[in-house]
Amino acid sequence: METNSQRLRGKIELVRPRLRQAAGEVWHHARLAELFPELLVTVHSVIRATVPTLKTAEQCARARAAEDPVCAGMVEYLAAHAIEEKDHDEWTLDDLEILGVKREDIWKRIPSPAAAALVGVQYYWMRHVHPVAYLSYQAIMENPPSPEFLEQAIERTGLPREAFATQLFHGSVDPHHVADFDRLVDSLPLSEWHHSILGVNAFQSVELLAQVYDDLLYRFETKNRDGA
């Protein structure tokens, strides 16, 4: 019998190759050392919304909890996870400072529309459809990086190890987060309707995240080609 989390991950796996392809174009880029600061800026443009979206998901779930057992089952987890994720966006800014990118300059940068869309759709689904939708976004985003791959990337780029600190941290702690997440999803009394919402948002979010990578690469290559 397939568990809730296995069913969700099975759907994500159907479309993850598109994401892996887009991310691979960035991580395996011949000029990764130059591209990496731009990648971190892009990461920050998305993860600056992590704690706010988790808190919104918690509020939406709490508001329905009395008459909705799925929402009731999510509240505590979301509240605890928002605390765990606190300041991770700040850590990314610390990593960028090591690479010589100033904090104040990052906040002046206009994020890609795909990043805005990726985060924006989460608010739509959880506020106007059902908070359970947020869990597919989380399942996609919380995918621990391989520490071995990161070590190779540090060596390949020659960039300071400290600039990878947040990535390395996630490589070590996210496996625990994934286990906690799966336990939560498996404990929820999900109906076919909930599963369908999870699948729809998973497919949309994977495509939008892939577009975030596509946009990053396009901007980097255009800027270099045009010498801007």
Partner 1 sequence: MAAKTNVQQLQKAGIIAAKHNLTEADQAKVNGLTENEVSALISARQKLGDALLKKSAKGGKFPHPDSFSY
Give residues in contact with partner 1 (CB under 8 A): 10-11, 14-25, 27-28, 43, 46-47, 50, 85, 88, 140-146, 148-150, 152, 167, 170-171, 174, 192, 195-196, 199-200, 203-204, 206-207, 209
How many CB atoms neighbour CB 104 within 10 A? 7
Instruction: Choose between 16 and 62: whose C-beta lies nearer to partner 1.
Output: 16
In angstroms, give the least distance from the CB of 114 to partner 1: 12
In angstroms, give the least distance from the CB of 46 to partner 1: 5
Please give the angle made by the CA atoms of 41, 42 and 47, to the nearest 5 degrees: 95
In angstroms, give the least distance from the CB of 161 to partner 1: 16
Instruction: Choose between 64 and 144: whose C-beta lies nearer to partner 1.
Output: 144
In angstroms, give the least distance from the CB of 200 to partner 1: 4
Instruction: Choose between 63 and 113: whose C-beta lies nearer to partner 1.
Output: 113
Report the candidate in 52, 107, 84, 111 with the shortest Cα–Cα distance to residue 170.
Answer: 84
Distant-in-sequence, close-in-space partners of 81: CB < 8 Å, separation ≥ 6: 54, 177, 180
Instruction: Kindly provide the b/e burial profile for residues 117-130, where b requires at least 16 CB atoms within 10 angstroms of the residue's own CB.
Output: bbbebbbebbeeeb
Instruction: Choose between 29 and 72: whose C-beta lies nearer to partner 1.
Output: 29
Instruction: Identify the burial level of 33 via C-beta atoms within 10 angstroms of its C-beta, where 0-12 means exposed, 13-18 middle and 19 or more buried.
Output: middle
Instruction: Choose between 25 and 65: whose C-beta lies nearer to partner 1.
Output: 25
Terminal CA-CA length for the chain? 56
**Contact indicator for 168, 150 with CB cutoff of 8 Å:** yes
In angstroms, give the least distance from the CB of 201 to partner 1: 8
Instruction: Choose between 40 and 71: whose C-beta lies nearer to partner 1.
Output: 40
Radius of gyration of the chain (CA): 18
Instruction: Give the span between the Cα atoms of 152 and 149, in whole angstroms.
Output: 5
In angstroms, give the least distance from the CB of 117 to partner 1: 11
Report the candidate in 129, 136, 161 with the shortest Cα–Cα distance to residue 147.
Answer: 161
* Helices 113-128 and 32-47: angle between axes, nearest 10 degrees: 30
In angstroms, give the least distance from the CB of 228 to partner 1: 26
Instruction: Choose between 127 and 177: whose C-beta lies nearer to partner 1.
Output: 177
